[in-house]
């Protein structure tokens, strides 16, 4: 990168101004990751670690920033005087980060490979996640107290009779395990799909638990399936949570949270104002869905679209397939039926529409201040792949209390 005179940069007082300057430089996301991690670093040691990777032009830019008085004009500001530190792996758009930050945690490292998710994370947390976790050197990850990760579910090629750490090589869980082995955090919190329980006839979960308990020396209570609807959001979403502790007494103190007893419905998460006609189904597409479901029902299958009543609970929001069509709603507030997208036929007059990305965000417990900065197609994917923040936070609260004694 060519040298850029620091005189070209005026004093930079806030994140929004910093973004404008960064847009004028031809920087990779990983360079922006080093810079933003440097600016949010917990201590001088962490800052030195990130700064050594920065090109000179960016170091000139840093000289124009008063880090201690920097205005993080973003939805989720870095925590000052944190109670604990954590890292955010397979970070997505930061659902787990929100949960841990709201409990007083300071994120000291984040990683997410998807470029669109990186952008959403960057706009909301002022930090660009590092990319492919398989290319991250575990020795370069800062020391932290809690590791959090929503790693993908993958089968292992079990080479030996016992299974364990070595057998996880080639999978993304291995990247979680090698960081645990190197950094020895006090605890971890892993999230995965419910299907992990029976994946590969139970062998996948067996190898994961054996690696965590026997090879890495963590005390791991039996994993539990948690449902988002038990924690204040109207979505029937089951996920497996796995927590572990280096200290046996902390593990013995831990218990998974009980349902909150708070009943919410679809009416609680719908947009306050009339939404765009683009979310409403055309008559032709509605007929296609009706016929499609009828064909499957005739064969004894339950597959098809579903309209969720206002006092009902959504099905799990998922990416692809019938993810949006299984969570249709009736909203009769539409006043302009003129299509703004290329649809076949006219817009239906029954008020049947897909939920908006903001409504999916609310189904996952994301605060409304979370900025949606990507196209709808990416937003649906991001929220569908994310976590139910309230369920994560309730479990994280118990984990932190267990560490505190």
Residue 233 in any domain: the answer is yes
Residues labelled catalytic: 153
Residue in this structure with the two tokens 């090879």, named with its chain if needed: 215
* Local structure of residue 211 (DSSP, 8 states): I
Q: Say what the pLDDT of residue 8 is.
A: 57
The reported pLDDT for the residue numbered 2 is: 47
Is the pLDDT score of 237 beyond 70?
yes
Does pLDDT of 157 surpass 90?
Answer: no
For residues 244 and 347, state if they share a domain.
no
Tokens representing 21 are 């300057």
In sequence order, the β-bridge partners of residue 226 are 239
Average pLDDT over residues 149-165: 68
Average pLDDT over residues 344-365: 96
pTM across the whole model:
0.93
**Confidence category of residue 1, pLDDT binned at 50, 70, 90:** very low
Residue 53 lies in a domain: no
Alpha-carbon Rg of the chain, whole angstroms?
A: 23
> What is the pLDDT confidence band of residue 182, given thresholds at 50, 70 and 90?
very high
Q: Which residues contact 360 (CB under 8 A, 6 or more apart)?
A: 317, 379, 380, 383, 384
High-pLDDT (> 70) share of the chain, %: 94
Shared domain check, 188 and 93: yes
Separation of CA 137 from chain center: 22
Whether the predicted pLDDT of 313 surpasses 80: yes
- As a whole number of Å, the end-to-end CA separation of the chain is 50
Range of the domain at 210: 74-262+386-404
Predicted confidence (pLDDT) at residue 5 exceeds the cutoff of 80: no
Q: How confident is the model at residue 192 (pLDDT cuts 50, 70, 90)?
A: very high
The band of 156, judged by pLDDT with boundaries at 50, 70 and 90, is: low
Q: Is the pLDDT of residue 161 over 60?
A: no
Residue 317 lies in a domain: yes
Q: Are residues 212 and 123 in the same domain?
A: yes
Contacts 24+ apart (CB under 8 A), 282-289: 282/339, 282/343, 282/344, 282/345, 282/346, 282/347, 282/348, 283/345, 283/346, 283/347, 283/348, 284/343, 284/344, 284/345, 285/343, 285/344, 285/345, 286/348, 286/350, 286/352, 289/325
Same domain, 247 and 276: no
Q: How confident is the model at residue 6 (pLDDT cuts 50, 70, 90)?
A: very low
Among 315, 336, 355, the domain-final residue is 355
pLDDT at 159 over 70: no
Q: pLDDT tens digit string along 36-93?
A: 999 999 888 888 889 988 988 888 888 889 888 899 999 999 999 999 999 999 999 9
Question: What would the mean pLDDT of 96-112 be, rounded to a whole number?
Answer: 98
| Strand (E) or helix (H) holding 109 | strand 105-110
Proportion of the chain above pLDDT 90, given as a percent: 74
**Paired sense of beta strands 224-227 and 238-245, if any:** antiparallel
Residues 250 and 162 in one domain: yes
Total domains present in the chain: 2
Q: Is residue 183 part of a domain?
A: yes
Does 104 fall in a domain?
yes
Same domain membership, residue 233 and residue 340: no
Instruction: Give DSSP secondary structure letters for 322-391.
Output: TTTGGGBEE-TT------SS--SSPBPSS-EEPPPHHHHHHHTT--TTS---S-HHHHHHHHHHS--HHH
Cβ atoms of residues 359 and 270 within 8 Å = yes
- Cβ-Cβ contacts under 8 Å for 362 (sequence gap 6 or more): 233, 268, 269, 368
Structure token digits, residue 110: 């984040």
Residues 189 and 312 in one domain: no
Q: Which of 165-174, 227-236, 238-247, 327-336 has the lowest mean pLDDT?
A: 165-174
Q: How far apart are CA 307 and CA 332, in angstroms?
A: 14
Listed residue (331, 344, 320, 319) closest to 280, CA to CA = 331
Q: Are residues 146 and 294 in the same domain?
A: no
pLDDT (average), residues 14-26: 91
Based on the domain organization, do 295 and 255 belong to the same domain?
no
> Could you tell me the pLDDT band of residue 345, with boundaries at 50, 70 and 90?
confident
The answer to whether residue 310 is domain-embedded is: yes
Q: What pLDDT was estimated at residue 217?
A: 97
CA nearest neighbour of 76 among 143, 15, 22: 15
Q: Which residues contact 286 (CB under 8 A, 6 or more apart)?
A: 348, 350, 352
Pairing of strands 329-330, 352-353: antiparallel
CATH code of 188's domain: 3.40.50.150
Kindly list the distances between the CA atom of residue 255 and the CA atoms of 252, 397, 405, in Å, as whole numbers in the listed order: 8, 10, 13
Q: With a cut of 80, say whether residue 7 has pLDDT above it.
A: no
Together in a domain, 110 and 207: yes
Question: Of the candidates 106, 283, 122, 99, which has an alpha carbon nearest to the alpha carbon of residue 191?
Answer: 99
Task: Report the pLDDT value the prediction gives residue 61, as an integer from 0 to 100.
Answer: 87
Which tens digits make up the pLDDT trace of 375-402?
A: 999 999 999 999 999 999 999 999 999 9
Q: Are residues 228 and 304 in the same domain?
A: no
| Tally of CB atoms within 10 A around 129 | 31
Dihedral through CA 389, CA 394, CA 397, CA 398, nearest 10?
-140
pLDDT at 168: 77
Confirm whether 17 is domain-assigned. no
Residue 401 CA to residue 49 CA, distance in Å, equals 31
Question: How high is the mean pLDDT of the chain?
Answer: 92
Beta carbons of 175 and 168 less than 8 angstroms apart: no
9 band by pLDDT with thresholds 50, 70 and 90: low
Residues 230 and 289 in one domain: no
CA dihedral 234, 89, 184, 213 (to 10 degrees): 60
pLDDT for residue 160 is more than 50: no
Whether residue 46 lies inside any domain: the answer is no
- 213 confidence band (pLDDT: 50, 70, 90): very high
**289-312 average pLDDT score:** 87
Q: What is the 3-state secondary structure (H, E, C) of 213-266?
A: HHHCCCECCCCEEEEHHHHCCCEECEEEEEEEECCHHHHHHCCCCCCCCCCCCH
Residue 135: what pLDDT? 94
Residue 317 confidence (pLDDT) above 60: yes
Per-residue DSSP letters for 127-149? -PPBS-GGGS-GGGSPP-SEEEE
User: What pLDDT shows up at residue 163?
Assistant: 60
Q: Can you name the residues that pair with 241 across neighbouring β-strands?
A: 191, 224
């Amino acid at each position: 990168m060519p040298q850029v005179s620091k005189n070209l940069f005026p004093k930079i007082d806030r994140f929004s101004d910093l973004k404008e300057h960064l847009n004028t430089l031809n920087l990779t996301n990983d360079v922006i990751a080093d810079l933003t991690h440097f600016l949010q670093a917990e201590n001088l040691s962490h800052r030195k670690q990130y700064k050594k990777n920065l090109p000179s032009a960016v170091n000139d830019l840093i000289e124009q920033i008063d880090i201690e008085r920097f205005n993080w004009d973003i939805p989720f500001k870095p925590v000052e005087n944190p109670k604990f530190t954590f890292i955010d792996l397979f970070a997505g758009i930061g659902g787990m980060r929100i949960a841990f930050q709201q409990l007083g945690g300071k994120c000291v490292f984040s990683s997410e490979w998807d470029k669109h998710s990186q952008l959403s994370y960057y706009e909301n947390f002022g930090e660009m996640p590092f990319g492919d976790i398989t290319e991250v050197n575990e020795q370069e990850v800062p020391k932290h107290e809690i590791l959090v990760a929503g790693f993908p579910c993958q089968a292992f090629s079990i080479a030996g009779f016992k299974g364990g750490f070595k057998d996880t090589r080639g999978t993304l869980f291995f990247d979680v395990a090698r960081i645990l082995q190197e950094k020895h955090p006090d605890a971890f919190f892993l999230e995965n799909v419910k299907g992990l329980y029976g994946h590969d006839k139970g062998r996948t979960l067996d190898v994961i638990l054996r690696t965590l308990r026997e090879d890495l020396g963590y005390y791991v209570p039996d994993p539990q399936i948690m449902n988002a609807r038990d924690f204040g959001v109207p979505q029937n979403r089951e996920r497996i949570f796995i927590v572990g502790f280096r200290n046996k007494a902390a593990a013995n103190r831990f218990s998974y949270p009980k349902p909150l007893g708070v009943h919410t419905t679809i009416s609680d998460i719908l947009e306050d104002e009339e939404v765009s006609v683009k979310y409403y189904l055309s008559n032709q597409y509605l007929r296609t869905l009706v016929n499609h479901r009828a064909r499957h029902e005739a064969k004894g299958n339950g597959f098809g679209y579903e309209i969720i009543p206002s006092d009902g609970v959504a099905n799990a929001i998922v990416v692809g397939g019938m993810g949006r069509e299984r969570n249709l709603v009736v909203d009769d507030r539409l006043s302009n039926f003129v299509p703004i997208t290329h649809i076949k036929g006219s817009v239906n007059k029954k008020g049947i529409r897909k939920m908006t990305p903001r409504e999916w965000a609310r189904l996952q417990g994301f605060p409304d201040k979370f900025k949606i900065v990507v196209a709808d197609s990416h937003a649906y994917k991001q929220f569908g792949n994310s976590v139910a923040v309230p369920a994560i936070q309730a479990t994280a609260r118990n984990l932190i209390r267990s560490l505190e004694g």
